[in-house]
């Protein structure tokens, strides 16, 4: 067990976890990486659906998916017109 009040020990644990994740990722084949990416994407769609249903206060799954689609359209729109960017604007 690690003492969470010890910042040096906590940093060492974080570094070990990160190093393990990097080594595991580097050992994957391209097919495994694609499988992991698709699994992550699928999982995120389900989280988006659950969040939309919660915010709409509904149990209707079709209504939840319709809201997810609406939100993705908004994201595509703002990204397509340059209103949203992944990097800061050039100086």
d(CA 57, CA 51): 10
Provide the whole-model pTM. Answer: 0.62
Q: State the chain's mean pLDDT as an integer.
A: 90
Place of tokens 């974080």: 14
Give residue limits of the domains in the chain.
Answer: 7-80
- What's the pLDDT score for residue 80? 81
User: What are the helix (H) ranges across the chain?
Assistant: 7-26, 30-56, 61-80
Could you tell me which residue, 22 or 83, shows the higher pLDDT? 22
d(CA 33, CA 31): 5
Q: What pLDDT, in 10s, does the model give residues 46-84?
A: 999 999 999 999 999 999 999 999 999 998 888 887 776
Place of tokens 């359209």: 73
d(CA 42, CA 58): 21
- What's the pLDDT score for residue 50? 97
């Amino acid at each position: 067990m690690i003492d969470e009040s010890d910042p040096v020990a906590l940093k060492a644990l974080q570094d070990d976890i990160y190093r393990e994740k990097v080594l595991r990722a580097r050992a994957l084949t391209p097919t495994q990486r694609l499988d992991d990416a698709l699994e992550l994407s699928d999982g995120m769609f389900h989280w988006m659906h659950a969040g939309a249903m919660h915010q709409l206060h509904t149990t209707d799954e079709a209504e939840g998916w319709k809201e997810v689609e609406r939100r993705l359209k908004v994201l595509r729109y703002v990204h397509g017109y340059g209103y949203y960017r992944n990097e800061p604007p050039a100086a």
